[in-house]
Chains A and B, each alone.
Chain A
């Protein structure tokens, strides 16, 4: 069974990297993330230099974590929101449009393996992107030693956030045979569960608490501070599981198999 999954997974990667868009997406992401990192780092060093000169050193207690990494992590999360739908959009939509899904369904593999391979393929691409974005961080580490542990926490958070984005995008790709529709809808849904927290201030406080707990980015907050909270881990795990399960339902549904 595992070798079948591996075959599917390798196919996903081969197809992804056979398209120019793969390289464009990865380089754009790495470039934008690096650009933000440079900008934030510059600003931080200017501010900290100024505060040292003005003999108010003790007033400036903004750590590198709060001054550089937290804002940067939020920026990266937002760039992911824009780019991940483009990576997951073709997952099932393209197979459906091309009819290759018909053959896939008649191969001796389970739907579970098919969905898992789609997810893992996109996730591997995402990890490559993240590794690229990591390089300026590594360079900064050499020039000015900072505490690694909380930054690692932030990266673990990004890895979970990316997994959630991918699972949702894979599910939505199964609902249509048009890649563009898949990308736009994925983007809209991600955006919605990102900003749903804003509603919490205008509705009844009880409902508001629920809404802000649904918000995908709220659960990223502790990670960005380097804190790994079980509640957040559970949130992402449940989120991923729900959309994995829904993807399986979609594959079984009438829409695919008539």
Chain B
């Protein structure tokens, strides 16, 4: 449905997006994940035809964005970051305008507007001036305008940014309800968002794709191993040295000093090892005091951080 081939975008010689290629199949929900300035918005703007790529080709539903821009734009509903709207118009007037400009047939215009207002929960505020709506409601108007002509592709740039937890949940549910046959790309730098809504994640950093896979595979590939949180009464240097001497420990760091002589530590364990018994044994043997031990599997957040730092290491 969406196809990018070696797409780059340069701003004054600096590449914001660098030779990016990926494909999205019909009906897939893709999460675009990356830190600030990674190039998420820039990539989305090229797919939506806001600006042309400096290099490479973008195709949506088989149409090339530079050759058939209008055809491509007819397939896409787009909600930009920060959801720009005409503040002076009422919700209903705004949606009427959107229906006109997206070429919704006259006979179906009214029902289309009613349908999207219903779907996005805007019916009660239909007469309200957009400038006076709360952020959450403006976000809904942004979603409503994106889906009014029932597009095959939805591009949502940080659809939940700046919302409170309750509204984030509601917007996520809305997005979930929108899938059907639709192909959706949504960007975020909040990780739980992708694990909740997306089939596949494309991780992008400094304009390049550094990983793409489904959420659980990404977790499997990169969370090889686990992490132990310990609170131990022991001489710090000696304890760390002992921990690092275990085969299977990839790193051991002190986190905090709780009291004199009592520290918390984080120890990362490689895949295939479970050192909890060995570590407690070692502590007992040295007559140190074990106050707490907790194991956790690495979350997507850690995976992401690892991806990003791994990339940084490569660059340097």
Give which listed residue, B11, B71, B78, B87, contacts A258 with CB less than 8 A: B11
Bound CA–CA A182/B103 (angstroms): 32
Query: Of all chain B residues, which has the CB nearest A98?
Result: B84
Chain A residues with CB below 8 A from B88, complex form: 14-15, 18-19
Query: Is the CB of B208 closer than 8 A to any CB of chain A?
Result: no
Give which listed residue, B50, B70, B85, contacts A108 with CB less than 8 A: B70
Give which listed residue, B74, B82, B86, B101, contacts A7 with CB less than 8 A: B101
Query: Is the CB of A139 closer than 8 A to any CB of chain B?
Result: no
With A15-B86, A99-B84, A103-B78 known as contacts, the answer to whether A109 contacts B101 (CB < 8 A) is yes
Query: Is the CB of A6 closer than 8 A to any CB of chain B?
Result: yes
Q: Which chain B residues (83-108) contact chain A, with CB distance < 8 Å? A: 84-89, 93, 96-103, 106
Query: Is the CB of A100 closer than 8 A to any CB of chain B?
Result: yes
Do A7 and B97 touch across chains, with their CB atoms under 8 A apart?
yes
Per-residue interface assignment for chain A, residues 136 to 169, with 1 indicating a CB less than 8 Å from any chain B CB and 0 otherwise: 0000000000000000000000000000000000
Do B93 and A14 touch across chains, with their CB atoms under 8 A apart?
yes
With A10-B97, A257-B51 known as contacts, the answer to whether A98 contacts B87 (CB < 8 A) is yes
Query: Is the CB of A44 closer than 8 A to any CB of chain B?
Result: no
Per-residue interface assignment for chain A, residues 100 to 112, with 1 indicating a CB less than 8 Å from any chain B CB and 0 otherwise: 1111011111100
With A99-B82, A103-B78, A257-B51 known as contacts, the answer to whether A11 contacts B89 (CB < 8 A) is yes
Per-residue interface assignment for chain A, residues 1 to 44, with 1 indicating a CB less than 8 Å from any chain B CB and 0 otherwise: 00110111011001100110000000000000000000000000
Query: Is the CB of B73 closer than 8 A to any CB of chain A?
Result: yes
Per-residue interface assignment for chain B, residues 60 to 92, with 1 indicating a CB less than 8 Å from any chain A CB and 0 otherwise: 000000000011011010101010111111000
Give which listed residue, B48, B51, B70, B86, contacts A100 with CB less than 8 A: B86
- Taking the nearest CB of chain A, how far is it from the CB of B218, in angstroms? 30
Do B70 and A11 touch across chains, with their CB atoms under 8 A apart?
no
Query: Of all chain A residues, which has the CB nearest B78?
Result: A106
Chain B residues with CB below 8 A from A7, complex form: 96-97, 99-101
- Taking the nearest CB of chain A, how far is it from the CB of B174, in angstroms? 19
Bound CA–CA A100/B78 (angstroms): 12
Do A3 and B106 touch across chains, with their CB atoms under 8 A apart?
yes
- Taking the nearest CB of chain B, how far is it from the CB of A9, in angstroms? 10
Chain A residues with CB below 8 A from B78, complex form: 103, 106
Which of A3, A6, A10 has the most CB atoms of chain B within a 10 A radius of its CB?
A: A3
With A18-B88, A18-B89 known as contacts, the answer to whether A102 contacts B50 (CB < 8 A) is yes
Bound CA–CA A109/B48 (angstroms): 13
Bound CA–CA A8/B84 (angstroms): 16
- Taking the nearest CB of chain B, how far is it from the CB of A4, in angstroms? 5
Chain A residues with CB below 8 A from B11, complex form: 258
Query: Of all chain B residues, which has the CB nearest A7?
Result: B100
The B contact surface, by secondary structure, is mixed
With A14-B89, A99-B82, A100-B84 known as contacts, the answer to whether A3 contacts B74 (CB < 8 A) is no
Query: Is the CB of B136 closer than 8 A to any CB of chain A?
Result: no
Do B51 and A258 touch across chains, with their CB atoms under 8 A apart?
yes
Query: Of all chain B residues, which has the CB nearest A101?
Result: B84
With A10-B97, A106-B73, A106-B76 known as contacts, the answer to whether A100 contacts B103 (CB < 8 A) is no
Do B89 and A257 touch across chains, with their CB atoms under 8 A apart?
no
Chain B residues with CB below 8 A from A10, complex form: 97, 100
Give which listed residue, A19, A100, A107, contacts B73 with CB less than 8 A: A107
Chain A residues with CB below 8 A from B49, complex form: 105-106
Chain A residues with CB below 8 A from B97, complex form: 7-8, 10-11, 14
- Taking the nearest CB of chain B, how far is it from the CB of A52, in angstroms? 56
Query: Of all chain A residues, which has the CB nearest B142?
Result: A103
- Taking the nearest CB of chain B, how far is it from the CB of A10, in angstroms? 7
Bound CA–CA A7/B103 (angstroms): 9
- Taking the nearest CB of chain A, how far is it from the CB of B171, in angstroms? 18
- Taking the nearest CB of chain A, how far is it from the CB of B130, in angstroms? 11
Q: Which chain A residues (59-116) contact chain B, with CB distance < 8 Å? A: 98-103, 105-110
Bound CA–CA A28/B103 (angstroms): 38
- Taking the nearest CB of chain B, how far is it from the CB of A26, in angstroms? 17
Which of A3, A15, A99, A103 has the most CB atoms of chain B within a 10 A radius of its CB?
A: A103
Can you list 11 residue pairs at the A/B interface with Cβ under 8 Å?
A4-B103, A8-B100, A18-B88, A101-B84, A102-B45, A102-B50, A105-B49, A106-B48, A106-B73, A108-B70, A110-B70
The 10 closest A-B pairs by CB, nearest first: A7-B100, A99-B84, A257-B51, A108-B73, A18-B88, A106-B48, A100-B84, A11-B97, A108-B74, A7-B101
Given contacts A7-B96, A258-B9, 9 further A-B contacts (CB under 8 A): A7-B97, A14-B88, A18-B88, A18-B89, A100-B85, A102-B80, A102-B84, A105-B49, A105-B50
Chain A residues in the interface with B (C-beta under 8 A):
3-4, 6-8, 10-11, 14-15, 18-19, 98-103, 105-110, 257-258
